[in-house]
């Protein structure tokens, strides 16, 4: 199965992960609706809806650039109307736009709190609401949201409660929409990376150049998204996918080409803990000695994990295997697809591209997970 002729509505597709997913689909001959805010070039934040549209057309697809702030219902409604008018329908919605502000309760002003909740939870819900009537008419319709598994450990709430609430709101949309529209054959899933991804958010908010070197490129998320979107939507719904597990199920075994800085130690992403305990036995998990949570820990690809200060390992349940819970710890389920996918063409790792246009940016008030513009 390919995405040729399919219409994808992608929020925040002018740069970062959304752009990478759009480019991947465009190479198949898909139609891409680029719904984002950036209409004019900013030398500090490269990428606009128009430059992204040109790149996707050059890659072999069709594209429609639509200026859209997903906090505004009228703008979202008009964006979907324009998309349907041009391409005749919607086959896939990618809820990618997301705002981030890693601060605690007292340090978070309500303007930032509202921004994250309006973009993340409300924006995901709003775009899904307008997409569903069109998806019901489509063959193999999907909603894919870039959000994490619902890990309810307190150490992911304490350091930055407002962001966790907003991001988990996106994941709750996945859980609820999958249940609500299962009978309509709409596949609703979430996708999250194993490591940090080289985007503006990582560059500006999570550690600068050194963190970018410890990240993988956006290509790994785009390749994993492609695998999900080409599966049978009736059989693939209600999952919280991790990029490496999706690609492993498609036959990918070498993840080194995805590294931004080959050979550099990789940084595990937020909200995952030791999710790979029991899935990746080659990675040693060392219980933390301290009670204070440290949100992320560095890991090397296919190498032992260094001890994660103060993060308690969380057992993971596979869809078709018994759980191996850590004693006295409630497992958090990270579920694979209901059925393994056969390798799809174009899913092999592509050469890592230094995201100079995506990662090297000045810090801005509305910086998001590489996408909110």
pLDDT tens figures, 64-77? 999 999 999 999 99
Q: Which two tokens stand for residue 320?
A: 């078709």
The alpha carbon of 127 is separated from its chain's Cα centroid by a whole number of angstroms, namely 16
Which pLDDT band, with edges at 50, 70 and 90, does 135 fall under?
very high
Distances in Å between the alpha carbon of 30 and those of 25, 61, 111? 5, 5, 37
Is the model's pLDDT at 336 over the cut of 50? no
Q: CA–CA separation, 354 vs 260, rounded Å?
A: 6
The residue among 250 and 200 whose pLDDT is bigger is 250
Is the model's pLDDT at 328 over the cut of 50? no
CA nearest neighbour of 334 among 194, 197, 222: 194
SS3 content of the chain, % helix, strand, coil (to 5): 35, 15, 55
Q: Where are the beta strands (DSSP E) in 130-278?
A: 142-146, 187-192, 240-242, 266-267
pLDDT tens-digit map of 268-294 = 999 998 644 433 433 323 333 333 343
Q: For position 91, what pLDDT does the model report? A: 98
| Residues 6+ positions from 201 with CB-CB distance below 8 Å | 16, 100, 367, 368, 369, 370
Q: CA–CA separation, 232 vs 165, rounded Å?
A: 31
| Residues 6+ positions from 327 with CB-CB distance below 8 Å | none
Q: CA–CA separation, 278 vs 225, rounded Å?
A: 24
Q: Cα(first)–Cα(last) distance of the chain, in Å?
A: 32
Angle, helix 16-26 to helix 49-58, in steps of 10 degrees: 30
Q: For position 347, what pLDDT does the model report? A: 41
Q: For position 353, what pLDDT does the model report? A: 37
Is the model's pLDDT at 345 over the cut of 60? no
Q: Which two tokens stand for residue 322?
A: 């018994």
Which residue's structure tokens are 């709003």?
126
Q: For position 274, what pLDDT does the model report? A: 63
Catalytic residue among 163, 168, 226, 258: 163
Distances in Å between the alpha carbon of 74 and those of 135, 227, 233? 20, 32, 29
How much is the pTM? 0.76
- Contact indicator for 287, 234 with CB cutoff of 8 Å: no
Q: Which two tokens stand for residue 221?
A: 């998320």
Domain ranges across the chain = 7-254+339-359
Is the model's pLDDT at 304 over the cut of 90? no
CA nearest neighbour of 128 among 73, 65, 166: 73
Looking at residue 154, the DSSP 8-state letter turns out to be G
Q: What percent of the chain has pLDDT over 90?
A: 65
Q: CA–CA separation, 187 vs 224, rounded Å?
A: 15
Q: Work out the average pLDDT over 315-325.
A: 40
Distances in Å between the alpha carbon of 329 and those of 153, 248, 325, 344? 10, 27, 7, 37
Q: Please state the length of the chain.
A: 373
Other CB atoms within 10 Å distance of the CB of residue 165: 16
DSSP H or E stretch at residue 243 = helix 243-249
Q: Work out the average pLDDT over 185-210.
A: 88
| Residues 6+ positions from 239 with CB-CB distance below 8 Å | 189, 190, 335, 336, 337, 338
Task: State in words which class domain 7-254+339-359 has.
Answer: alpha beta
19 is catalytic: no
Q: Work out the average pLDDT over 97-126.
A: 97
Q: For position 40, what pLDDT does the model report? A: 85
Is the model's pLDDT at 1 over the cut of 50? yes
The residue among 349 and 145 whose pLDDT is bigger is 145
Q: Which two tokens stand for residue 289?
A: 């000695």
- Contact indicator for 274, 287 with CB cutoff of 8 Å: no
Which pLDDT band, with edges at 50, 70 and 90, does 111 fall under?
very high
| Residues 6+ positions from 110 with CB-CB distance below 8 Å | none
Q: CA–CA separation, 164 vs 150, rounded Å?
A: 10
Q: For position 92, what pLDDT does the model report? A: 98
Q: For position 204, what pLDDT does the model report? A: 76
Q: Work out the average pLDDT over 173-178.
A: 98
């Amino acid at each position: 199965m390919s995405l040729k002729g399919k219409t994808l509505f992608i929020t925040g597709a002018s740069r970062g992960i959304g752009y990478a997913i759009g480019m991947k689909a465009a190479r198949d001959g898909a139609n891409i609706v680029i719904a984002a805010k950036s209409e004019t070039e900013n030398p500090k934040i490269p990428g606009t809806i128009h430059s992204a549209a040109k790149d996707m057309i050059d890659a072999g697809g069709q594209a429609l650039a639509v200026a859209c702030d997903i906090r505004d219902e009228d703008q979202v409604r008009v964006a979907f109307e324009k998309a349907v008018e041009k391409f005749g329908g919607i086959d896939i919605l990618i809820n990618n736009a997301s705002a981030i502000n890693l601060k605690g309760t007292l340090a978070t002003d309500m303007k930032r709190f509202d921004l994250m909740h309006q973009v993340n939870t409300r924006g995901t819900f709003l775009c899904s609401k307008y997409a569903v009537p069109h998806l019901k008419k489509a063959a193999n319709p999907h909603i894919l949201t870039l959000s994490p598994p619902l890990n309810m450990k307190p150490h992911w709430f304490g350091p930055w409660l407002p962001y966790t609430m907003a991001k988990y709101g996106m994941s709750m949309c996945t859980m609820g929409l999958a249940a609500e529209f299962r009978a309509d054959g709409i596949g609703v899933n979430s996708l999250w990376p194993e490591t940090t991804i080289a985007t503006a958010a990582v560059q500006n908010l999570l550690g600068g150049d050194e963190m970018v070197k410890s990240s993988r490129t956006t290509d790994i998320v785009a390749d994993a998204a492609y695998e999900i979107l080409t599966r049978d939507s009736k059989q693939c719904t209600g999952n919280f996918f991790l990029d490496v597990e999706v690609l492993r199920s498609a036959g990918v075994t070498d993840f080194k080409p995805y590294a931004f800085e080959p050979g550099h130690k990789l940084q595990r992403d937020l909200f995952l803990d030791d999710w790979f305990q029991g899935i990746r036995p080659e990675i040693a998990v060392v219980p933390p000695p301290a009670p204070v949570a440290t949100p992320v820990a560095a890991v090397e690809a296919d190498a032992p994990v260094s001890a994660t200060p103060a993060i308690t390992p969380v057992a993971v349940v596979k869809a078709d295997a018994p759980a191996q819970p850590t004693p006295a710890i409630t497992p958090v389920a990270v579920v694979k697809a209901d059925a393994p996918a056969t390798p799809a063409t174009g899913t092999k790792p592509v050469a890592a591209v230094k995201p100079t246009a995506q990662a090297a940016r000045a810090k801005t008030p509305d910086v998001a997970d590489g996408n909110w513009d």
